[in-house]
Chain A
Amino acid sequence: MLVAGLVVAGVLACAFFVLTMARSSREPLPEHSANFANGELLFWAGGCASCHAAADAEDSDLLILSGGRSLNTPFGVFRSPNISPDPNFGIGGWSMLDFVNAMVKGVSPDKRHYYPAFPYPNYQNIEIDDLLDLKAYLNTLPPSSNEVAGHSLQFPYSLRRGIGLWKWRYLARSRSDRTNEASEQIERGRYLVRGPGHCGACHTARDQFGGEITERLLAGAESLEFGEGNDASSAGRIPNITPHAEGIGGWSESDIAYALETGFDPDFDSFGGSMVEVQENMARLPAEDRAAIAAYLKSIPAISSEAH
């Protein structure tokens, strides 16, 4: 009996070990000659500076990706890492393959899982050539020797190995493949929204384990970023951006593109909260990319906001 129990426990421990291993890809990368302008576009579309530059950074300081911003959430405090090209404190020592594994698999060069506060479930949708351009661009930015403390998470979220199980359940369902049914413009918009733009990271509601609920795609969510009150009472509600009447169904495509360019909604209220940084990133994209985002957002299913 005791032997049988030990065997079962052993099998379970092995299964946990195998299931939660951090798997990275060793497939060779394609030949690529870097397009730095495209890398810069990806940098703004991806909102890298909004988590990795200092909280009060403006203009050229947005290019110093020293990390250290804290994100106070129901799971605990996440601190964004230094992703400047510094070889010791940043990611200057990473190979292209290291970078691709981080962005697509959520795995670090030393084979540990990243927490999905880093939006790799969205970033896995970025094309490989775009990832290579982005890394080439990041390599040109100023190095920073800022040393960032680790996350301070509550149990059981503090068990990094558990992310392996999380990935089995959630990672594949966040994939957004081309449909080839929509226009080139809508496909470009889908790519920007579901890939680099990672709009769903805030605008799609998450379940109790922090996985995006795919049936509620972009239909709004409780904000997971706590304010000074340090609980849900100090977090806002992220708007529904589907074409539902409770979302932005009343906005035209040009209203959406104008809002992303200027920060003014159709009623001439300004964006606020964390959307301000997102909008200011989007304002740096070519106008046709903002129009593509608008066209895609008008094409997705209209979903009612969750009951408050």
Chain B
Amino acid sequence: MATVALGATTYVSFAADELAFANQIEARQSFMHVYRFNLGLLGAMAKGDAPYSAEQASAAANNLLAASKMSNGAMWPAGSDMGAEGYAGVTWAKPEIWSTYPKIGEKGAALTEALEAMAAGAGNGLDALRSNMGGVADGCKGCHEPFRAEND
């Protein structure tokens, strides 16, 4: 069973490597992982799973803010959506990203705004950190709701 599963995984990544935009897709998925990692540090404190540290909270919040200001348009070439041939199961990016452009830019700006507030507040105590989590969640969902298909 394990061999079968491993074989399937290998096949998928091999197929993905053959795609014209494999590199861009890997880059943007890694970029999202950097968000999740830093948000997880803040979230663990917000949930009470980790002790609050002003220094670590500020560092994570500033990383998130810096990430949201990175220019990443080159990671999203037209034609790298889930409906393009070969991309099903590799990316869940919906074609609406490109067809409604520049709407996604407005969503990105809203995320940066929420992260400005988080970066300003995260070091000022657990309550300030917690009160900014909702805004950051709205920032993430701002793109994930219209532009990312459900996937399991």
Decide if A178 is an interface residue (CB 8 Å cutoff): no
Is B40 in contact with A267, judged by CB distance below 8 angstroms? yes
Is A237 in contact with B96, judged by CB distance below 8 angstroms? no
Task: Classify the secondary structure of A's interface with B.
Answer: loop
Residue of B whose beta carbon sits closest to that of A308: B89
Please name all residues of chain A whose beta carbon is closer than 8 Å to the beta carbon of B89 when the two chains form the complex.
308
Chain B interface bracket (under 10, 10 to 19, 20 to 34, 35 or more): 20 to 34
Which of B40, B133, B141 is close to A276, meaning CB atoms less than 8 Å apart? Answer: B141
Is B95 in contact with A236, judged by CB distance below 8 angstroms? no
Shortest CB-to-CB span from B13 to chain A, Å, is: 16
Which of A220, A235, A270, A305 is close to B149, meaning CB atoms less than 8 Å apart? Answer: A235
Which of A233, A238, A239 is close to B82, meaning CB atoms less than 8 Å apart? Answer: A233
Is B152 in contact with A273, judged by CB distance below 8 angstroms? no
Task: Classify the secondary structure of B's interface with A.
Answer: helix
Which of B95, B141, B150 is close to A239, meaning CB atoms less than 8 Å apart? Answer: B150
Is B137 in contact with A263, judged by CB distance below 8 angstroms? yes
Is B96 in contact with A228, judged by CB distance below 8 angstroms? yes
Could you say which of B32, B94, B145, B148 has the most chain A C-beta atoms within 10 Å of its C-beta? Answer: B145
Is A262 in contact with B96, judged by CB distance below 8 angstroms? no
Decide if B15 is an interface residue (CB 8 Å cutoff): no
Is B36 in contact with A236, judged by CB distance below 8 angstroms? no
Decide if B79 is an interface residue (CB 8 Å cutoff): no
Is A223 in contact with B43, judged by CB distance below 8 angstroms? no
Please name all residues of chain A whose beta carbon is closer than 8 Å to the beta carbon of B96 when the two chains form the complex.
227-228
Chain A residues in contact with chain B, CB under 8 A?
A: 220, 223, 227-229, 233-240, 246-247, 254, 258, 262-264, 267-277, 305, 308
